[in-house]
Amino acid sequence: MVTATDARPARQRILDSAIRLFYANGPRGVGVDTVIADSSVAKATFYKHYPSKDDLILAYLDTVHGLWFDAVRACARAGGDDPRGQLVAMFDAIDDEYRRDDYRGCAQLNAAAEAVPGSPVQRRTAENKAIVRDWITDTCRRAEAAQPDVLAAQLVLLIDGALAGALSDTDERAPGAAKAAAAMLVQAHCPE
């Protein structure tokens, strides 16, 4: 909920409310009226910035995608200059996510699970996941993986499984286990 002194532009207040509400309850579990009330905007203001709820969901998905992808790349860079180390270090982003008090799983996977197949929302989640996969594939190429596409597919599957598993598994070792598995995959696919 915003306060009377909130100086953020209405569009940003709406998006910030949507990010918090959609992540906690799923995009389909939150009505437009709830977002309008939470962001303290008029209905006309809401529709001026987001002509449909799907437009707001797409903005939400793009925003959380950008935050996640930035975190993955930052963790990879923290792993050093060697692309093999970066492929393993990127898994630290999962541990960071898992430790958040409000962790509810991967926003993209959650939205995709409730989206109508072929809908703009489902397509956007696929596009956002493809951006990450393409970056991982490029990093696999730089690591001189024998089959960069295969290694990237395995690492993406491991990331998605770890993000989903961390939601249902209270074992704090789960993200570390995913990172250890990634290290074994990278070692098996990339020459020293």
- pLDDT of 150 higher than 90: yes
Residue 40 sits in the same domain as residue 115: no
Residue 34 sits in the same domain as residue 117: no
In a domain? residue 24: yes
The parent domain of residue 179 ranges over: 61-189
If one counts every other C-beta atom within 10 angstroms of the C-beta of residue 65, the result is: 19
In a domain? residue 56: no
What local confidence, expressed as pLDDT, does residue 108 receive?
Answer: 93
CATH code: domain of residue 41: 1.10.10.60
Q: Please compute the mean of the pLDDT values over residues 181-186 and round it to a whole number.
A: 97
Residue 176 sits in the same domain as residue 93: yes
> Among residues of the chain, what percentage have pLDDT more than 90?
79
pTM comes to 0.90
Q: Please compute the mean of the pLDDT values over residues 68-83 and round it to a whole number.
A: 97
Residue 162 sits in the same domain as residue 70: yes
- pLDDT of 79 higher than 80: yes
CA distance 106 to 192: 33
In a domain? residue 124: yes
166 band by pLDDT with thresholds 50, 70 and 90 = low
What local confidence, expressed as pLDDT, does residue 176 receive?
Answer: 85
What local confidence, expressed as pLDDT, does residue 191 receive?
Answer: 82
In a domain? residue 102: yes
- pLDDT of 97 higher than 90: no
In a domain? residue 76: yes
What local confidence, expressed as pLDDT, does residue 170 receive?
Answer: 63
Residue 94 sits in the same domain as residue 43: no
CATH code: domain of residue 103: 1.10.357.10
Residue 68 sits in the same domain as residue 31: no
What local confidence, expressed as pLDDT, does residue 175 receive?
Answer: 82
What local confidence, expressed as pLDDT, does residue 19 receive?
Answer: 96
Residue 32 sits in the same domain as residue 87: no
Residue 16 sits in the same domain as residue 43: yes
Nearest of 125, 89, 76, 130 to residue 105 by alpha carbon = 125
Question: Which of 28, 51, 74 is the C-terminal boundary of a domain?
Answer: 51
- pLDDT of 116 higher than 80: yes
If one counts every other C-beta atom within 10 angstroms of the C-beta of residue 70, the result is: 11
Nearest of 65, 190, 191 to residue 135 by alpha carbon = 65
Residue 146 sits in the same domain as residue 75: yes
Residue 103 sits in the same domain as residue 130: yes
Q: Please compute the mean of the pLDDT values over residues 111-136 and round it to a whole number.
A: 96
* Segment (H or E) for 89: helix 83-89
Residue 21 sits in the same domain as residue 83: no
Instruction: Give me the torsion for CA of 62, 24, 69, 54, rounded to 10°.
Output: -10
Domain count along the chain: 2
Q: Please compute the mean of the pLDDT values over residues 158-165 and round it to a whole number.
A: 88
Q: Please compute the mean of the pLDDT values over residues 60-70 and round it to a whole number.
A: 97
Residues 6+ apart with CB under 8 A from 79: 85, 86, 87, 88, 89, 90, 92
3 band by pLDDT with thresholds 50, 70 and 90 = low
What local confidence, expressed as pLDDT, does residue 192 receive?
Answer: 79
Classify burial at 111, counting beta carbons within 10 Å of its beta carbon; exposed 0-12, middle 13-18, buried 19 or more.
buried
Residue 103 sits in the same domain as residue 172: yes
